A and B are shown apart, each in its own frame.
Chain A
Amino acid sequence: MMHTALHRALLRSASILVPSKQRGEWLQEWTSELWHIRHTRSLSDPAITAFCLGAMQDGLCLRRNLWQTHPRHLIAKGSAARCLLLMATLLATSYTVSLLSPSLRAQHQAAFRDFRQHLVLIRAQRNSDDAAPTIDPAQFQLWKKRPPRFFDDFAFYQLLPASQGTSLARASINLFDLLGIKLSSLRTEEKCDIPVAVLSNDLWKQRFASDPYIAGRVIQLGTQRATVAGIAPAGFHALPGNVDAWLLEPNAGAFSSGPGFLIAHIVPSQSRKLWKNFGLFTSRLPDNIVNDFFCSSLEGRIPRPDLVFLFNIILALLALPALTSLSLGEYRFRSARLSWFTRLRRWSFLTAKIALLLPAIFFIALDLAYLPPALTPSSAQSIQRVAWFLLCLFGFRWAVRDQRGRCPICLSLLGHAARVGHPSKSFLAWNGTELACSGGHGLLQIPELPTSWFSTQRWLQLDASWQVLFRGPNADIAS
Chain B
Amino acid sequence: MASEVTLSHTAALILQAISCGHIYGFSVMEHTGLPSGTVYPAMRRLERDLLIRSQWEKQSIADAEQRPPRKYYKLTPGGKTTLQASLKRYPLLSRLMPSKDLESV
User: Which residues of A line the B interface, CB within 8 A?
Assistant: 28-29, 31-33, 35-37, 39, 50-58, 60-62, 65
What is the 8 Å Cβ interface bit string for chain B, positions 58-97, against chain A (1 contact, 0 not)?
Answer: 0000000001111100000000000000000000000000
Min CB gap B44→A, angstroms? 6
In-complex Cβ contact of B44 among A28, A35, A51, A65 (8 A): A65
Assess whether A36 is in contact with B37, with CB atoms less than 8 Å apart. Answer: no
Knowing A62-B44, A65-B48, say if A33 contacts B25 (CB, 8 Å): yes
Complex Cα–Cα for A65 and B33 (A): 25
Knowing A37-B26, A61-B44, say if A32 contacts B68 (CB, 8 Å): yes
Knowing A36-B26, A61-B41, A65-B48, say if A51 contacts B36 (CB, 8 Å): yes
Min CB gap A32→B, angstroms? 4
Chain B's interface: helix, strand, loop or mixed, by majority?
A: helix
24 contacting pairs across A/B (C-beta < 8 A): A28-B71, A29-B71, A33-B24, A35-B68, A36-B24, A37-B26, A39-B67, A50-B35, A51-B35, A52-B36, A53-B36, A53-B37, A54-B35, A54-B38, A55-B37, A57-B36, A57-B37, A57-B38, A58-B44, A60-B41, A61-B41, A61-B45, A62-B44, A65-B48
Residues of B within 8 A of A53 (CB): 36-37
Residue on A with the closest CB to B29?
A51
Min CB gap A279→B, angstroms? 74
User: Which residues of B line the A interface, CB within 8 A?
Assistant: 24-26, 29, 35-41, 44-45, 48, 67-71
Residues of A within 8 A of B68 (CB): 28, 31-32, 35
Min CB gap B48→A, angstroms? 7
Residue on B with the closest CB to A60?
B41
Min CB gap B1→A, angstroms? 11
Complex Cα–Cα for A32 and B36 (A): 14
Complex Cα–Cα for A39 and B25 (A): 15
Residue on A with the closest CB to B68?
A32
Residues of B within 8 A of A51 (CB): 26, 29, 35-36
Complex Cα–Cα for A195 and B44 (A): 83
Enumerate the 9 nearest inter-chain pairs by beta-carbon distance, A residue then B residue, closest first. Answer: A54-B36, A54-B37, A57-B37, A61-B41, A58-B40, A32-B68, A51-B36, A29-B71, A33-B26
